[in-house]
Amino acid sequence: MKHFIFLFFLCLSISGFSQDLSISGKVVDQSNQPIPYVNIVLSNVDDETDLKGVSTNEEGMFLFADLTKNATYQLKASFMGFTSFEKMVDLTQNLTENIILIEALETLDEVTITANKPILKKEIDRLVFNVANTALTEGTMLDVLRSTPSVLILGEDIVVKSTTPTVYINDRKVHLSSRELTQLLSSSTANAIQKVEVITNPPAKYDAESGVVLNIIMSKNLITGYRGNVFTNYTQGVFPRYNAGINQFYKTNKLNINLNYSYNHSKINRDNHQVINYLNNDDISEIWTTDLNRNTTTKTHNANLNFDYFITDNSTLSLTSNLLYLPYFNYHTNGLTNIEDLQANNDYFFNSRNHSQDDKYNLGTDLDFKQVFKNGSRLLLNAHITKYDYNRNQEVNSNYFFPDNTLDYGTAFNTVNNQATDIFTSQIDYEAFLSDTANLSFGFKTSKVSTNSDIVQLDIDQVSGNATINTFNTNAFNYDEAIYAGYISYDKSWEKWAFTGGLRVEQTNIDGQSPMTSLNNTQEYFEWFPTINLSWQAFNKASLYSNYKRYIARPNYQDLNPFNFFLNDQTIVTGNPNLQPSFTNHYVVGTEISQRYTIEAYYKAITNQINELPLQDNTNTVLVYSPTNIGNTREFGFDFITYFDMLDKWSIYFVTSFYNIQDDAYFNDQQIKTNQWSNYSVLSNDFSLLKDNSLNANFTLTYASKNQQGFQIVDSRLISDLSFSKKMFKNKATLSLAFADLFNQQDFAVRSKYANQNSQNFNNQDNRYVKLGFSYKFGNTTLQTNERTKSLRERERLEK
């Protein structure tokens, strides 16, 4: 901590005593509101050459450093929708020049905004997918991610190849579980998305758990007034589902208010065909074949409030609150299991019924303060609190039959589970704007998490109906986590070189207890997480780059919870309170050619990789799904990315990756080592149709070959999506139509065959559907929104 404090005052000293002549300032509109992304050009009057060019940051600030004394310059500022600004300046000392841009009101009514093609750009540590004013923004946020290169949507999971990314919106982490996240993104319109950043080597300011970051950047509103958007979607899969909502934005000179609400009603079907070969001394003794049908019905309310108050031109106070309320969650599972010997003789069979009813709410609130200094440096303060409450009532009933269909016996039990979680975090960041080519940032963060859970199992007598407490499966689990973090990051660019480097340190203290079983899990560890990016513009049209990052994957709270949840008597889902964090060292080298082609190679070394594995108990014929530290994982591969125009109205991007995953662990008294080569490829086509480009289409094919996930082999999949969008009513309304899984090749099987494990599970998911959507803009439709969704990594780890 003393070292970070020393660096803080050192940076202030450097900023305060620098003697280089500079021109700095701020660009605002007539309401004195900052305008981001304005192009500022500085020219030499003597030879009429453009010396430097910059864009204003989010606060409208700019800086030109290392300028010549007693020289005359011309300062130019331009931005679409505003009258350009020009001024001659004689530089005799450091100069502060504030610029007011005037709206070009006489031209606004004549401007016709047409849909552009998405643009793919590779930067030193990320892939940037610009989608503003394209057909993709007429869908949902989830639709945009589905079309983003390297991003794969698998059911309720978002995956970047084999990594689960952290999702941000405007550099704020989304605070929901995987299921809640997909619900939020699928019910949120994308009309204000500017770009999506796939950050494969996140800077040190991001939490050490952020191995890959998906950052959704929303466009900023520039003009005062009120606007809104209403939308609805109807989806027909196995069952119908629908959602609707309203987004509203209002801005004055002092206030920004953004209020959104959406409702989602969904019923999802899923079928599984599972075969388990139970073993006796490496020979198959019994074959269990199970057919499961699962139906999940949910009614979800999402609400989001963003409130900004501009205290002064350089000081802003913000309040953000997000609410997810799930009053209705019904989960039905019906299964039939046949048990046969090796000669295919039917020993017996049983059916099972599992019914769960859940309700929960997730309320998170952020309070932010931002202070911008004259030289463009920023001080940011954040306080965050989450209140989370979850309840589940589960009923499980099984009936066992002889081969002649006569009833042998039945079992029944109920469970009641409750969980309450409180999260509090505080954070301070300082970003020093040293020059137009150099920046320094550092900060501190504390995180406190407390969760209390309990479960009671009641065994039901099938004859009398009496209930008795099952003490073996009745338990409580209390979990406390504290993380203290600090970071420093520096980036600098030269004529042909660019460097970004950072170091993050985190102290983690964990205490998990199950009072009824005297189970205690205490962990304390201090870790360093360096990040390095280096690029070199080797030739006019070719650059080379190299990245390195170390990051951590902590088990989420549900993974640590030792409670048992039953699909049937013999299939259990449980947590593992002894899970350890996993650490990854990630190396990348690559080249970008003509800003169109990217070729790179990467290598990952992972220790204590966490995977949920189906572990079969061959003695008691029980299958347990439990998260496990599998040992060491090595992954290396080669990626190729390109983007080009086939025709004026037809653009293509193509991504392919060939990679190898090797798992190595000591499992059930055996040393197990497996590896698998795989391929991941995406071909996406964007079309602009009709003379006015009001009809747009997208056709995407995603292929994932057979791959390995924690000793399990996952079958290949072909994901196909076709979507159309048509603008109507002077571009105020959009009608959309989408088809998913056109070729019905998205279902897959997962196989486990190693040590004394031998099982297969085929997943038939409800991912083939047709979706019809409609949205309508009202109010001042020239506005764009600065909608934000705030959250923290700790909230993301709330699984249920």
* Mean predicted confidence (pLDDT) in 396-424: 92
Question: CA-to-CA distance for 208 and 794, rounded, in angstroms?
Answer: 12
Query: What is the mean pLDDT of the segment spanning 416-443?
Result: 90
Quick one: pLDDT at residue 417? 92
Q: Is the Cβ–Cβ distance between 539 and 240 less than 8 Å?
A: no
pLDDT value at residue 188: 67
Domain 119-796, CATH homologous superfamily name and number: TonB-dependent receptor, beta-barrel domain (2.40.170.20)
Q: What is the pLDDT of residue 713?
A: 93
Q: In this structure, what token pair is assigned to residue 480?
A: 């406390």
Report domain extents, the chain. 2-108, 119-796
**What pLDDT score was predicted for residue 792?**
44
What is the pTM assigned to this prediction?
0.79
Q: Tell which residue, 218, 192, 230, 210, has the closest CA to residue 36.
A: 218
Alpha helices in 256-394 (DSSP H): none
Q: What is the CATH number of domain 2-108?
A: 2.60.40.1120
Residue 694 has, within 13 A of its CA and on its CB side, a CA count of: 13
Please check the confidence at residue 797 and state whether its pLDDT lies above 80: no
Q: For residues 206 and 551, is the Cβ–Cβ distance under 8 A? A: no
Exposure string of 597-631, with b = 16+ CB inside 10 Å and e = fewer, is bbebebebebebbbbbbbbbebeeeebbebbbbbb
The predicted model gives 120-147 an average pLDDT of 73
For residue range 686-714, list pLDDT tens digits in order.
888 888 888 989 899 999 999 998 889 99
pLDDT tens for each residue of 37-65: 787 888 877 655 556 777 787 677 888 87
Q: What is the C-alpha separation between 430 and 441, in angstroms, rounded? A: 6
Task: Report d(CA 712, CA 387) in Å as an integer.
Answer: 36
Task: Collapse the DSSP code of 569 into the 3-class scheme (helix H, G, I; strand E, B; otherwise coil) and give the result.
Answer: coil
Task: Output the pLDDT for position 480.
Answer: 92
Reduced to 3 DSSP states, what percent helix, strand and coil does the chain have, rounded to the nearest 5?
5, 65, 25
The answer to whether the beta carbons of residues 171 and 723 sit under 8 Å apart is no
Distance in angstroms (rounded) separating the CA atoms of residues 750 and 761? 5
- Specify the length of the chain in residues: 800
Backbone angles phi, psi at 757, to 5 degrees: -110, 135
Q: What is d(CA 425, CA 482) in angstroms, rounded to the nearest whole number?
A: 10
**Residue position matching structure tokens 């331009």:** 78
Contact indicator for 168, 185 with CB cutoff of 8 Å: no
Determine the 3-state secondary structure of 14 from DSSP. Answer: helix
**Angstrom distance (rounded) from CA 200 to CA 442:** 21
Q: What is the DSSP letter of 619?
A: T
- Give the pLDDT mean for 307-336: 91
Tell whether the model's pLDDT for residue 633 goes beyond 90. yes
For the chain, report the end-to-end CA distance as a whole number of angstroms: 35
| Other CB atoms within 10 A of residue 507 CB | 14
Q: Are 482 and 448 in contact (CB under 8 A)?
A: yes
Could you give the CA distance from residue 419 to residue 415 in angstroms, rounded to a whole number?
A: 13
User: Residue 772's pLDDT is what?
Assistant: 93
Give residue 272's pLDDT: 94
Out of 3-7, 686-690, 739-743, least confident range:
3-7
Burial class (CB in 10 A: 0-12, 13-18, 19+), 668: exposed
Under the banding of pLDDT at 50, 70 and 90, the label for residue 784 is: very low
Q: What is the pLDDT of residues 402-411, one digit of tens each?
A: 988 999 999 9
What tens digit of pLDDT does each residue of 458-494 get? 999 888 889 999 988 898 989 899 999 999 999 998 8
Question: Which 8-state DSSP code applies to residue 124?
Answer: S
Same fold, 2-108 and 119-796: no
Residue 519 to residue 793: CA distance in whole angstroms: 27
Neighbours of 245 (CB within 10 A): 21
More confident residue, 379 or 78: 379
User: Residue 785: which pLDDT band, with cuts at 50, 70 and 90?
Assistant: very low
| DSSP string for residues in 725-777 | EEEETTTTEEEEEEEE-TTS---EEEEEEETTEEEEEEEEES--EEEEEEEEE
* The pLDDT of residue 786: 40
